[in-house]
Structure 1
Amino acid sequence: MQSAILYIGAALAEIAGCFAFWAWARMGRSPLWLIPGTASLLIFAWLLTLVDTAQAGRAYAAYGGIYITSALLWLWLAEGVRPDGWDLAGAALCLIGAAVIFFGPHRG
């Protein structure tokens, strides 16, 4: 459960940080957006280090499904575009893959 909370927090921090850079580069917002964006990306990286796994790559791989799902939620809630069936099917596949990676009986 703690890992799920960390992954969700990391996803929110990553999306917020990336959006701050998007807003500056693509939407003409002030360069001041880069300050909270950078802070948010630092929080994202720090949160992933707290996930209970011995390998960084495995933590990042399992996180991918959470990130994709969170990005689609961002698309819907922040940008007002409702994900379609293809988006939802892709997110479901990614979450299944993330669960296999995270909960699988790994050797090392």
Structure 2
Amino acid sequence: MAFVTFFAAAAFEIGGCYLVWQAARGGNALLWLPALIALGIFAYLLTLTGQNSAGRAFAIYGGIYILASIAFMAGFEGIRPDRWDMIGAGLALAGAAIVFFGPRAV
């Protein structure tokens, strides 16, 4: 369930940041409110990941965010990821998995 929450957080952060991008670059002031709402939901979702440390949640999320950003680039911007994008995303996910699944002393 935590991974679903991390991916949902990524969707809201990328969506919110893209709305900011569009508002700032396109001059559409109406996009600021939905952007801020999306970013607020993103931040709240990270609190639901079940991690005992904000820093650990952020570290795990970082790998997932990189993968989601590459998917956004491909799906919404129409830019095909190259091998370096995929290698980088794979390394980031491997790091996130180590942090997420690593044994913890109680």
Q: What TM-score comes out, normalization by structure 1 length?
A: 0.95
- In the TM superposition, residue 59 of structure 1 has moved relative to its aligned partner by 0.5
* 1:1-108 correspondence runs (5 A): 2-26=1-25, 28-107=26-105
- In the TM superposition, residue 24 of structure 1 has moved relative to its aligned partner by 1.1
Q: Which runs of 5+ in 2 are unaligned?
A: none
Instruction: Provide the alpha-carbon RMSD of the alignment.
Output: 0.9
- In the TM superposition, residue 105 of structure 1 has moved relative to its aligned partner by 1.2
Q: Which runs of 5+ in 1 are unaligned?
A: none
State percent identity of aligned pairs: 46
Deviations 1:23-58 (A, max 9, x none): 0112x1411101111000000001000001111100
Runs of 4+ in 1 over 4 A off after TM superposition: none
Count of aligned pairs: 106
Q: How many Å separate the matches in 1 of 2:15 and 2:8?
A: 11
